[in-house]
Structure 1
Amino acid sequence: MTAPTRRLSLLLLEDDPRLAPVVAELLSDVYDVTLVADGAVALEHALTGEFDLLVLDRRVPTLDGLEVVRRLRARHVATPVLLLTALGTTADLVAGLDAGADDYLVKPFELDELLARLRALTRDHTGPEKQLGRWTYHPGSGEIHSPYTGRILLTVREDALLGMLAAEPGRVFSRPQILAAVFPHGEAEGTVDAYVHYLRRKTDRDLIETVRGRGYRLGNP
């Protein structure tokens, strides 16, 4: 007899009294949902390590969603995070990535899109180990090992981008190609540049090579 599949647990931080119960109820068809309305409470829950996914509204009482993500990443909590925000500018995207979020969704949104993004954050794409110069990388694992400092955590999108480049080391990928494969939800091409910037900052600036006028390819760190 096949054992039943465990439902993933999801922490939802949302303080809008109209939106929160609606989203929580809809997500509960797929996930075991815990709903909180305060950032400090969300941080306390997330630090237990009991959740598979975190969906955090950016503007909430006590601690905003960005600060919750920053504190989690500072304590090496790698649980995938999707930020919900009414702020949809490139600067807001960069702020979310800088904090350590894996993805973001601008309000108002469709439930189907929210579910699709959550599925992408939990999909297992782990591949065989790759040596990138002196760096060791397992595609889909959410981490890369530095020859200097050891394990470095990657967000889901950073991992997907690096995995795409590492799969075909000599190939130049254009921004539209990367957008279609890694960010299939209509983001601007500047999103690719932002993720490349953060990958370089976390690892080695030579890990990803810019090919002027064409795009990016795996470098030689």
Structure 2
Amino acid sequence: MDPVAQLLVVEDDPQLATMLTELLTGEGYAVELARDGQRGLHLGLTRDFDLMLLDRGLPAIEGLDLLTRLRARGRHVPTLVLSALGQPSDRVDGLDAGAEDYLGKPFDVDELLARLRGLLRRPQDHVDVLRVPGGELDISSRSVATPSGEVTLSEREAKLLCALARSPRRVFSRQELLESVFESAEDEGVVDTYVHYLRRKLHRGVVATVRGLGYRLGNL
């Protein structure tokens, strides 16, 4: 007998949350519901799920911010974003943040279930190596293989580079990086400091500055 798939539903609308829980439970899934982003982040960091169904307009922590924080912490549960923000640019933002699929509201129930089945059938590769400008980042060893040799990063340097590399087209504000990577009450200047460290250890183009907005991964 196949094991029951574990689903995390992060949705703040009471009626929709109840409907999704009843629908997915009726389909044979084990469902854990989080009604705000903070609870969703906690469950995503402390429990293992086969799939996450994620709203965007959440209290406490916005949906894509939640997803970015999970990816930065090495949590790679396949995610379908379910949102009223359904324009092409919104879908691009969701996919760039690390979601595997994106469905706008209102949605067709049969299509939602088919997309969930598709994600659960997809082989899940736990990526240990990420492409970065001028080399490859090995997450487990915190080292970057470059044409001139291997460069070892500190834990914080590696976490920062990993967060940028998982969403290479996304621009992260300093506050986003401070919360998702450093998890502390330090000043945003610590982000600038570690960007400087990465550039010094690797090369200046590894992290690009987007004036007035923040940072993104340099051009691959």
TM-score scaled to structure 1, two decimals? Answer: 0.58
Alignment match, 1:41: 39
Letter in 2 for 1:73: R
Name the one with the larger helix percent: 2
Query: What percentage of aligned pairs have identical amino acids?
Result: 45
For 2:34 and 2:128, locate their aligned partners in 1 and report how far apart those are by CA, in whole Å: 33
CA contact (8 A) 1:14 1:37 kept: yes
Map 1:44-193 to 2 at 5 A. 44-125=42-123, 141=125, 143=127, 145=129, 148-150=136-138
User: Equivalent residue of 1:34, what SS?
Assistant: strand
Alignment match, 2:184: none
Residue 11 (structure 1) aligned with residue 3 (structure 2): no
Cα distance change, pair 142–115 in 1 and its aligned pair in 2 (3 A):
farther
Letter in 2 for 1:150: D
User: Equivalent residue of 2:52, what SS?
Assistant: strand
User: Equivalent residue of 1:47, what SS?
Assistant: helix
For 2:5 and 2:102, locate their aligned partners in 1 and report how far apart those are by CA, in whole Å: 19
Q: Per-residue deviation at 1:154?
A: 7.5
Q: Per-residue deviation at 1:124?
A: 4.1
Letter in 1 for 2:127: E
CA contact (8 A) 1:144 1:154 kept: no
For 1:142 and 1:23, locate their aligned partners in 2 and report how far apart those are by CA, in whole Å: 28
> What is the root-mean-square deviation of aligned Cα atoms in Å?
2.6
Q: Which has the higher contact order (CA 8 A, sep 6+)?
A: 2
Q: Per-residue deviation at 1:68?
A: 0.7
Letter in 1 for 2:111: E
CA contact (8 A) 2:8 2:31 kept: yes
Deviations 1:55-102 (A, max 9, x none): 111111111111110100111111101111111112101211221111
For 1:154 and 1:95, locate their aligned partners in 2 and report how far apart those are by CA, in whole Å: 13
User: Equivalent residue of 1:149, what SS?
Assistant: strand
Deviations 1:92-116 (A, max 9, x none): 0121122111111100111111111
Alignment match, 1:32: 30
CA contact (8 A) 2:12 2:58 kept: yes
Cα distance change, pair 92–124 in 1 and its aligned pair in 2 (3 A):
closer
CA contact (8 A) 1:55 1:81 kept: yes
Q: Per-residue deviation at 1:26?
A: 0.5
Alignment: residue pair count: 143
Letter in 2 for 1:87: L
